[in-house]
Structure 1
Amino acid sequence: MATPLRASDRAYQALRDDIVEWRLAPGTILGEVEQAARLGVSRTPLREALSRLMTDGLVASQSGRGLVVTDVSVDNIRELFDVRKALEVKAVRLAAEHHTGSTFADLEREFEAVPQLLARDDSDRSAYFDLVRRFDSAVDDAVANDYLTGALNSLRTHLVRVRRLAKDNPERLAAAAREHLLIVQAIVARDAELAAHATHVHLHHALTSALAMAADSPLRAAN
C-alpha cells in the first residue's frame, strides 16, 4: 500500500502542476492565505512547498509583491536550449548504444500514430504530452547515469512550461512528433550518430517555434 503524501508534498505537486500547465501564469502572486485555502493545507506545509518551488526556479520573491510565479523570458528560452542541446544529444547517443528490451520499438509505433492521437486528444493535449514524457523517461532509463538524468530532470521542469505553449498549435505538435519518431527510429537501430543528428534538428525547430510563440504570448524578454 502506497504511503500517503505529506501535506507539503501535495501542495508542492499541485502548485508545480499549476505553474507548468500555465494555470498559474507568470507574475501570479502566491499569497499564503489564499493558496493554503485553495489547496486545503495549513500555512506551514505551504511554506515548505513554496520554498521547494523557489529552489526549482518556478517561484521568486519580488519586492513589494511577495512570492510570484517566475517569468519565462525569451532569454530564458535561449539559455534553456543551450543546455538542453548538450544534455539531450549526449543522452540519445547513450540510449542508442545501451538500450535493451522493446520500449523504443513500442514508442516508435506510438509516434507513428500521433496524427490520429492529435485528432482525438483533448484541448490540453494531455495524451500527446504524456507520450513525450514517456519518451524522456525511456531515454533516462537507457542512459542509466544518475548525474546526467538528474541534470535533465531539473531542466525539464522549465522546458515543460515552454512545451505547453504549443498545445494550441497542432501543426507544430505534429512536426515535433515526426522529429521524435526519427530519433526513436535511430535509437531502435542503435545508430548513435543519426540519433544525435535527429536531436539537433528537433531542437533547432523546437527553439525556432518557442521563440516565435514567445512573440505572441505573455512572455517578456529579459532586460
Structure 2
Amino acid sequence: MRASDRAYSRLRQEIVDGLLEPGTVLGEVEQSARLGISRTPLREALARLVADGLATTSRGRGLVVTAVSLAEAPQLFDLRIALETLAGRRAAERTRSPEGGPELRDRFTALATRFEQATTQLSAGTEPSSYYVLTAQLDAELDAACGNPYLADSLRGLRLHLGRLRRLARNSPGRLAASAREHAAISRAIATGDPELAAAATIVHLHQALAHLQSEDADHPRPSPITQESAP
C-alpha cells in the first residue's frame, strides 16, 4: 500500500471513530510527523479527505475536520434509503441467477442467522463492537452482490458520514436488538430472492434507524458545530 493510501485510511478511520474531532486542525507538519510520512503523500491523503467531505479549509486555521451533527441525519437518510433499497433489490435478483446465485443465498442466509443470534446478546446490553463488525460484513456483501460498482462506491462514501453520526447517539440495547432483527429480515429477503421484500425490509430498518437518531437529537441537543464561518 502506498504511503498516501495508508495515511488516508488511517486519518479517515480516526475521523469516523471520533479520535480526530470536528474542528481538529490537520496541519501538514504535525500529521506528517505523527504518521511517519513525507508531506507529499500526506497532501494526497488530505485531498482525498476533502473530496470525501471529511475535511475542509477554515479561514485562518488551514485544513480542519468537518463538523458533524445529528441534524444532518434526514438528508443523509434520504440518500441512504434510495441507494440501499436499490442495492437490496439488485442483490435479491442476483440470488436467483443460476450462476453464483446459490453461493449468494448461502452467504446471506448465514448472515441472517448470525444477526438472529446477536439479538439476545444485544438485548442484554452486550458491548456492540462485534455487532458493528457484523453490520460491516453485511454492507460488504451487499456491495458485492448488487452487481453495480457505481452504486457500491456511492454507498461506501455515504457510510463514512453515517458512521460519524452513529458515534453521536447513545447505545440503546433495545434499539440495537431491533436493528439486528431488521438486518436479519433484510438478509433473509435477499437470500430468498425476493427483491420487493428486500426493499421493504430495508425501508423499515432505515426509517427506524432515522427515528432513533432524531429522538437522540431532540433529547440531547448539542452546541452548534464549528463551521468555517464561525471558527476563530
Which bracket does the TM-score occupy, shorter chain normalised?
0.7 to 0.9
1:143-200 deviation line (CA, Å, top 9, x unaligned): 1112211221221221222233446333322221111111112112222222111111
Matched, 1:196 2:199: yes
Q: How many residues align?
A: 217
**1:167–1:75 distance in 2 versus 1, CA, 3 Å:** closer
Partner of 2:98: none
SS in 2 for 1:113: helix
Paired with 1:45 and 1:157, the residues of 2 have a C-alpha distance of 22
Flag structure 1 segments of 5+ consecutive residues without an equivalent.
none
Amino acid corresponding to residue 112 of structure 2 in structure 1: E
Deviation at 1:218, TM superposition (A): 4.7
1:153 aligns with 2:152: no
**Structure 2 residue corresponding to 1:80, chosen from 76, 82, 104:** 76
Give me the whole-angstrom Cα distance separating, in 2, the residues matched to 1:109 and 1:190. 17
Q: TM-score, normalised by structure 1?
A: 0.87
Q: SS of the residue aligned with 2:193?
A: coil
- Root-mean-square deviation (CA, aligned residues, Å) is 2.3
State the identity as a percent. Answer: 51
Residues 1-223 of structure 1: pairs in structure 2 closer than 5 A: 5-99=1-95, 100=101, 101=103, 102-115=106-119, 118=122, 122=127, 125-166=128-169, 168-215=171-218, 216=220, 218=222, 220=224
Mapped contact 1:26–1:72 kept (Cα < 8 A):
yes
Deviations 1:31-88 (A, max 9, x none): 2222222212222221111111001110000111211111123443221111111111
**Aligned partners of 1:39 and 1:212: how far apart in 2?**
38
Unmatched 5+ residue regions in structure 2?
Answer: 96-100
- Amino acid of the residue matched to residue 106 of structure 1? A
| Partner Cα distance (1:182, 1:219) in 2 | 37
Any idea what SS the aligned residue of 2:9 has? Answer: helix
Instruction: From the superposition, tell whether residues 188 and 220 of structure 1 become closer, same or farther in structure 2 (CA, over 3 Å).
Output: farther
Question: How big is the shift at 1:208?
Answer: 1.3
CA contact (8 A) 2:119 2:178 kept: no
Offset of residue 25 of structure 1: 1.4
Q: Distance in 2 between matches of 1:159 and 1:55?
A: 16
